[in-house]
Amino acid sequence: TRMREMPVFPDAARVLTALREFQTHRTQMAVVIGEHGQALGIVTVEDLVEELVGEIYDETDPDMASVGREADGTITLPGSFPVHDLVDLDVELPGGDFTTVSGLVLDELGRFPSLGETLTIGDWRIEIRSIEHHRIQQLAIRPADPTTVAPREA
């Protein structure tokens, strides 16, 4: 195996310029450097493409693989599902000082919910389906107004 030098991009690099560099170097990742020369992280071709076209989900994405749909359009997902990925399911819930759907529920209630408890946040009704060791394991989300059409398939 031959090692190649990895491209280095400043954190202010433009997406299209970086994509061209990936093509030139025939590589899939590069190091991102900050203004003081410190390494900030790694960027991949997929990261850059997602900046242009939005999130790309595949069979290896654990978050989207954990989403289920019931016959009535109800969406089931784990409490650990990232709030920022809800938009990809056509579900819009408020953001806040939390990263997961269970964090949103805890923030909204101000206490730990009971199994089977439902709450309405915005236009959505959330039901607690599974709790294990004081952790919300599974939730169900559906429109609060039953006449509202459920979101499209993801």
**Residues 93/104, Cβ–Cβ less than 8 Å:** yes
Which pLDDT score, from 0 to 100, does residue 70 have? 87
Beta strands in 7-92 (DSSP E): 8-10, 29-33, 39-44, 68-69, 75-78
The one-letter amino acid code at 108 reads E
**What is the per-residue pLDDT across 44-89, written as a single tens digit (0 to 9) for each?**
988 888 788 766 655 555 555 678 888 888 999 999 998 888 888 8
By the 10 Å C-beta count (0-12 exposed, 13-18 middle, 19+ buried), 96 is classed as exposed
pLDDT for the residue 154: 46
pLDDT at 55: 61
For 84, residues 6+ apart whose C-beta sits below 8 A from its C-beta are: 95, 99
Those residues whose C-beta lies under 8 Å from the C-beta of residue 126, and which sit 6 or more positions away, are 101, 105, 118, 119, 120, 139, 140, 141
Residues of the chain whose pLDDT is less than 50? 154
- In the chain the domains, ranked by start, together with CATH numbers, are 8-53 (3.90.1280.20), 62-143 (3.30.465.10)
- CA-nearest of 130, 93, 98 to 114 is 130
Q: What pLDDT score was predicted for residue 47? A: 85
pLDDT at residue 103, as a whole number? 93
pLDDT of 61 reads 56
Q: Is 109 helix (H, G, I), strand (E, B) or coil?
A: helix
Q: Residue holding tokens 């997929």?
A: 46
The rounded distance, in Å, linking the Cα atoms of 52 and 137 is: 33
